[in-house]
């Protein structure tokens, strides 16, 4: 038993736990987890705390980086479409997209011929329709190969997530079109970066899967804390007892009542654990 027994801390990976924006833009390697963050996480877990990564990345996009992060709890992947036990190498829970999503989103990319779509299959295969420069930047960051498909209906099911890739203005138009079709009733439609628009099953978001994780760990939501920097993190930031965001976060995150800590380049997770250290002293 330690001071953090019965406490869950979940953190987004990109630009919260590790600052990856520079690597994405410049094509440089993903930086390692800072030593200060690593030391803080090891202390948190040694004192009984449960730490989980909650990433928008699908499993194949994160698995190559999992070893760089000390964690002792299953992780949320695919923006809430999956809960994965890294120790056991198995999914514990999933929320897959329906059969209609392929034809529906195909109509979107037919309207925007420069738009790419990544489709994440449960067997850890990433299919891509209309790959563009953003696709290849994303591929460099994740270090995962892609399989091109002529159209979304040619991509096999089941799928955990679709990721639309284009300039922000066109993605905003695509989002408006999908809302006009009433698809918000069936899917979560959320930006993970300005050039990445995510489509997951309704209710498949980070907040929903964090609740399921807390239930599995028998941890009260009163002792669940989350950290994230983007719009796709808001569902877990607001469901937590307290949400934290690095200073580099998207302005929409600041508006949801989070506690701002230092920039992700300046050991934001270590700052959060220092706050919790005082709270659970």
- The string of pLDDT tens digits covering residues 161-196 is 999 999 999 999 999 999 999 999 999 999 988 999
- At 65 the pLDDT is 92
pLDDT of residue 174: 98
In the chain, what are the domain boundaries? 8-95+204-279, 101-201
For the chain, which residues score pLDDT lower than 70? none
pLDDT at 23: 82
Asked whether the domain spanning 101-201 has the same topology as the one spanning 8-95+204-279, the reply is no
CATH 1.20.1260.10 fits 8-95+204-279, yes or no: no
The fold for domain 101-201 equals 3.30.1240
pLDDT for 28 equals: 84
Dump pLDDT digits (tens) for 145-162: 889 999 999 999 999 999
Confidence at residue 281, expressed as pLDDT on a 0 to 100 scale: 85
3-state secondary structure the chain: CCCCCCCEEEECCECCCECCHHHHHHCCCCCCCCHHHHHHHHHHHHCCCEEEEECCCCHHHHHHHHHHCCCCCCEEEHHHCEEEECCCCEEEEECCCCCCHHHHHHHHHHHCCCCEEEEEECCCCEEEECCCHHHHHHHHHHCCCCEECCCHHHCCCCEEEEEEECCHHHHHHHHHHHHHCCHHHCEEEEEEECCEEEEEECCCCHHHHHHHHHHHHCCCHHHEEEECCCHHHHHHHHHCCEEEEECCCCHHHHCCCCEEECCHHHCHHHHHHHHHHHHCC
């Amino acid at each position: 038993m330690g001071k953090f027994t019965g406490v869950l801390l979940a953190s987004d990976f990109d630009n919260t736990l590790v600052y990856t924006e520079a690597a994405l833009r410049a094509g440089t390697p993903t930086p390692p987890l800072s030593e200060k963050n690593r030391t803080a996480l090891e202390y948190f877990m040694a004192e009984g705390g449960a730490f989980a990564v909650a990433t928008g990345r699908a499993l194949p996009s994160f698995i190559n980086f999992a070893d760089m992060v000390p964690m002792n709890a299953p992780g949320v992947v695919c923006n809430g479409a999956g809960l994965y036990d890294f120790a056991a190498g198995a999914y514990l829970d999933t929320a897959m997209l329906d059969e209609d999503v392929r034809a529906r989103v195909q109509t979107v990319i037919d309207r925007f011929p420069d738009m790419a779509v990544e489709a994440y299959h449960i067997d850890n295969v990433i299919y891509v329709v209309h790959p563009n420069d953003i696709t290849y930047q994303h591929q460099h960051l994740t270090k995962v190969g892609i399989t091109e498909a002529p159209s979304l209906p040619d991509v096999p099911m089941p799928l955990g997530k679709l990721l639309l890739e284009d300039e922000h203005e066109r993605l905003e138009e695509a989002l408006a079109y999908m809302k006009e079709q009433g698809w918000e009733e069936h899917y979560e439609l959320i930006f993970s970066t300005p050039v990445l628009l995510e489509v997951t099953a309704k209710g498949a978001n980070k907040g929903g899967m964090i609740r399921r994780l807390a239930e599995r760990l028998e941890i009260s939501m009163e002792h669940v804390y989350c950290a994230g920097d983007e719009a796709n993190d808001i569902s877990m930031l607001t469901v937590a007892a307290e949400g934290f965001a690095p200073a580099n976060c998207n302005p929409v995150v600041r508006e949801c009542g989070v506690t701002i800590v230092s920039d992700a380049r300046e050991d934001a997770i270590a700052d959060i654990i220092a706050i919790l250290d005082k709270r659970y002293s």
